[in-house]
Amino acid sequence: MKKVFLIHTSSVSVKDLTDLFIEHGSDIKLHHIIDDSLLAEVLENGGVTSAVRSRMCKYYKAAEEAGADLIFNQCSSVGEAADLASQIVSVPVVKVDTCMAEIACETGHKVGVVATLETTLGPTCRLVEATARRMSQDVEVIPKLVEGAFELLTSGDRPGHNQMVLTAIRQFSKEVDVIVCAQGSMIAILSELEPLDIPVLTSPLSGVKRAIETLNQM
């Protein structure tokens, strides 16, 4: 069986990602490394710190030493730290949002990126821009921070948070060709969104499928 190590900054996505790997893959053994202090430090400092980068590198090396065939990065906020960590291991690294960024760049010129956290918005915008350069696509990235939504969520008002994000997506859809949801957790609320004239992309499913494709090609 192929061993996949998932690096998480919280336990929120553990079940959903596990279910996706089970549904779409076979002969895969999943292992989860969870450090919820990573995201807390990123939020407190407004971005990835040297300490976060150091811990990420240690987790990647630990996964490799434990026999990982592939390492999967779950959190977009530390995606750039994952890029660094991927350089010190010899096994493939798949970021949850790479495939989503590629689809967005192939879909339209104006790519809208929606997030409730600045620390996720910035890295995701830079990912889309870098992806566009790599793919030689003419893309304009337009960021949209849903201010106040994260505070509602942390205060326990999930319905209020969901409504703010959904409203922002509806309004944003009139300005861009495709919308990228910077946080994978947004997939949970899109069932409440009526069909729009443009695609609204989330990362978990496409990210898992990319990981499985990578494993199958090994």
pLDDT tens sequence across 172-189: 999 999 999 999 888 889
- Predicted pLDDT of residue 154: 83
- Predicted pLDDT of residue 184: 87
Q: Which residues of the chain have pLDDT under 50?
A: none
What fold does the segment set 98-202 form as a domain?
Rossmann fold (3.40.50)
Residues of the chain with CATH 3.40.50.1860: 2-96+205-217, 98-202
- Predicted pLDDT of residue 3: 98
pTM here is 0.93
Which whole-number Å values give the CA distances from 40 to 17, 37, 190, 212, in the listed order?
Answer: 21, 5, 26, 30
- Predicted pLDDT of residue 110: 98
Q: Do residues 208 and 21 touch, judged by C-beta distance below 8 A? A: yes
Quick: pLDDT tens for 115-155. 999 999 999 999 999 999 999 999 999 999 999 998 998 89
Q: Which two tokens stand for residue 149?
A: 């939504």
Q: Do residues 30 and 21 touch, judged by C-beta distance below 8 A? A: yes
Q: Which class does domain 2-96+205-217 fall in?
A: alpha beta
Give the pairing type, strands 2-8 and 140-145. Answer: unpaired
